[in-house]
Amino acid sequence: MSELTFKEIWETLYAVDVSKHTEKKMQFTYLSWARGWTLMMESFPQAKYNFIDFDGVPYRLLADGTAEVMTSIKIDEHERSMILPIMDNKNNAVVNPNSRQVNDNRQRCLVKNMAMIGLGMSVFSQWDDHLPSEEKDVQPKGKKPLTKEEPKKEEVEEVDDTYTLKWADSFVDAFEKVIIFQDSREDLVNRWKEKTSEIGMLETKFPEQKKRLDKIFKTRSSEINEKSNQSQTTEE
């Protein structure tokens, strides 16, 4: 028996008619994860999927407080992965996502992952969601598009304007969620170093949020030290 190839996987799954399993939401056509995986099992019952974690967190946090999820699908020795921003029901990126939004978008990412190996690609290929549009590219309130004539100083000010009070609160909330999963002082310090730029912005523009972040960091550091001391006492 010949070894399965990516070409065979693609041709098999792309040929599956998913049209009778899709549903319409606003201007988009969707394939539910349950129906998609059922179709996948009918063609390749050995297929496996995986939701990727990032240091124990089910999503990857970005600098502006939004996040993205990642999945992978493996059939025999063939594997492909996919990422998806965590979005609301209008496909807008979510700041500081809750557990429901994380879970829903993991499933949406899984469906997109299936399309990358053929299943339902006919649905995704009809989307123009990733193309530039006036609605998506509109500048946030209080900002204006930069022009080549504007001085360098003005460009720096435009970048700084992206750091709002809402961003500061969301960043601190998200950082608190992340460091819960750090079990050593070294890991805790590394997470802090990774966000040096954002923390510096807090210190400069949002001192109250910086104080809250410092308190959260010190509390978690004390918890780790206490746990370490208890462990050493037990061993002795």
Give tens-digit pLDDT for 169-219: 888 888 888 888 888 888 888 888 888 878 888 888 888 998 998 898 888
- 167: pLDDT strictly greater than 50: yes
Q: How confident is the model at residue 16 (pLDDT cuts 50, 70, 90)?
A: very high
Whose tokens are 């209080």? That residue is: 142
CB 18 within 8 A of CB 121: no
d(CA 52, CA 60): 9
- 131: pLDDT strictly greater than 60: no
What pLDDT does residue 176 have?
Answer: 87
- 15: pLDDT strictly greater than 90: yes
- For the segment 74-94, the average pLDDT, to the nearest whole number, is 92
d(CA 71, CA 173): 25
- Mean pLDDT across the chain: 81
- 147: pLDDT strictly greater than 50: no
Q: Which tokens go with 106? A: 């993991």
CB 73 within 8 A of CB 79: yes
| Nearby residues of 112 by Cβ (< 8 Å), 6 or more positions away | 82, 84, 124
Greatest distance between any 2 Cα atoms in the chain: 69
d(CA 92, CA 48): 29
Per-position b or e across 140-163, b if 16+ CB within 10 A of its CB? eeeeeeeeeeeeeeeeeeeeeeeb
What pLDDT does residue 107 have?
Answer: 95
d(CA 80, CA 59): 18
Q: Which of 102-111, 133-142, 149-158, 224-233 has the highest mean pLDDT?
A: 102-111
- 156: pLDDT strictly greater than 60: no
What pLDDT does residue 23 have?
Answer: 82
Among 37-51, 77-91, 175-189, 202-216, the range scoring the smallest mean pLDDT is: 175-189
Higher pLDDT, 145 or 102: 102
Q: Which of 117-121, 130-134, 158-162, 227-231 has the highest mean pLDDT?
A: 117-121
- 158: pLDDT strictly greater than 50: no
